[in-house]
């Protein structure tokens, strides 16, 4: 017997948001139209507007979904400094790197120029909190002897975040090529640990 039950509005809204992110991540923002979105979800264009008032509302929901995914990458702030720093890196590569649409929201300058104002405010807040999180971990590590003190945390922040974003990009390329994710993450983070290690020969091993 055919199941004719309808999906709830909340489920359908999430499907639309995920589909919008998929289109943006794989084909670019210009490809996100009501026609392409409806085709991706498997509904008519008119059906989209039973759940959203406008394309902007759909884009705002997609951004909200992406930001929630990025938010989930923050690890327990009570972890030791390096454990929390490398947990953030691993979480972002695992969650953001495998989803081109979520990666676009986090990494693309176009996101700040194209997303609805409400989403941009939330994105900017998340970026600021990410910077504070990393800087706090570096400062705490310097204080407990697990991070070098001959280079200021504000300077170390650059290669740390650069490494995370590079790994996210690598994960996205590998995913698009059908390769197994994560094969290059360990060695790169091990190299970052060497960079962060105290100059006196102490250990920056996050394990």
* Structural domains for the chain: 9-64 (1.10.10.60), 68-196 (1.10.357.10)
Each residue of 110-159: pLDDT tens digit? 999 999 898 999 999 999 999 999 999 999 999 999 999 999 999 999 99
C-alpha–C-alpha distance, residues 200 and 23, integer Å: 49
Question: What counts of helices (H) and strands (E) characterise the chain?
Answer: 10, 0
Q: Residue 205 — very low, low, confident or very high, per pLDDT cuts 50/70/90?
A: low
What lies within 8 Å, CB to CB, of 43 at 6+ separation is none
Each residue of 38-50: pLDDT tens digit? 999 999 999 999 9
Give 97: exposed, middle or buried? Use CB within 10 Å, 0-12, 13-18, 19+.
buried
| pTM confidence score | 0.83
Give the pLDDT score at 183.
Answer: 55
């Amino acid at each position: 017997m055919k199941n004719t039950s309808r999906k709830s509005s909340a489920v359908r809204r999430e499907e639309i948001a995920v589909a919008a992110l998929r289109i943006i991540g794989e084909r670019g923002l210009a490809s996100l139209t009501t026609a392409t979105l409806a085709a991706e979800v498997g509904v008519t264009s008119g059906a989209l507007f039973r759940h959203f008032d406008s394309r902007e509302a759909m884009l705002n929901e997609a951004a909200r979904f992406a930001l929630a995914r990025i938010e989930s990458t923050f690890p327990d702030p009570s972890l030791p400094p390096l454990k929390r720093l490398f947990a953030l890196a691993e979480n972002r590569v695992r969650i953001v790197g495998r989803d081109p649409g979520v990666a676009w929201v986090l990494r693309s300058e176009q996101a700040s120029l194209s997303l609805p104002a409400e989403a941009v405010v939330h994105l900017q807040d998340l970026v600021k909190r990410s910077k504070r999180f990393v800087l706090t971990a570096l400062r705490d590590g310097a204080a407990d002897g697990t991070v070098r003190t001959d280079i200021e945390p504000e300077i170390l922040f650059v290669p740390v975040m650069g490494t995370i974003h590079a790994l996210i990009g690598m994960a996205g390329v590998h995913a698009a090529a059908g390769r197994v994710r994560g094969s290059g993450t360990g060695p790169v983070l091990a190299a970052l640990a060497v960079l962060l290690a105290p100059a006196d020969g102490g250990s920056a091993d996050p394990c």
